Structure formats: structure tokens, C-alpha cells
Amino acid sequence: MDERETYASNKNNDMSIPIVKNDNQERRFNAQVIYPIISQGDVIGSVVLLSKDPNRKMTETEEKVAQSAAGFLSSQMEI
């Protein structure tokens, strides 16, 4: 999030970012989209979409949903 970049593991590969604590080192989520929430130039959080479905791939639609949610939350924090 420091780079303020969107991350999407849409190919069901091993390049996922760990989101939840997983002591067993097993893979719980097969696809993810992470979009930063930026308010007044600072990253204040992230919108994260996860899928457990092994056949699911994140598409541009999910990325746009995360972007919209991050934009909404950002505007609410600026009030």
C-alpha cells in the first residue's frame, strides 16, 4: 500500500498477499483484489475482495467495484 498501487491476483497463482493469519500455511483464498483508500494524499486503508472459489478469477469488474468502494470511503473520510 505504500506504493499506492492496486493489486490483483487474477490468475490463481501463488502471488497472493497474506491478509489473514494462517498458522497452518494453507491457502484459503485463491483470488484477491486490493485497492488503497487515499484521503488527503495519505493511504488510510484498503478495500480487499477475496475469493475462496478455486475456479474464480478476479476480473476488471471486481477491480472497478473495489475502486468505487475506495473512492466512496475516501470521500467520507474527508468530510
In the chain the domains, ranked by start, together with CATH numbers, are 7-77 (3.30.450.40)
Q: Is 14 left (phi over 0), alpha (psi -120 to 50) or beta?
A: alpha
State percent of the chain over pLDDT 70.
72
Length of the chain: 79
pLDDT at 43 over 70: yes
Higher-confidence residue of 9 and 39: namely 39
- Model confidence, pTM: 0.75
Cβ-contact 29, 51 below 8 angstroms: yes
Other CB atoms within a 10 A radius of the CB of residue 66 amount to 24
Residue 9 has pLDDT above 90, yes or no: no
- Give the pLDDT confidence score for residue 44 in this predicted structure: 92
**Nearest-5° Cα angle at 71, 3 to 17:** 40
Cell of 74: 475516501
- Alpha-carbon distance 33 to 9, whole Å? 7
Query: Mean pLDDT across the stretch 69-79?
Result: 88
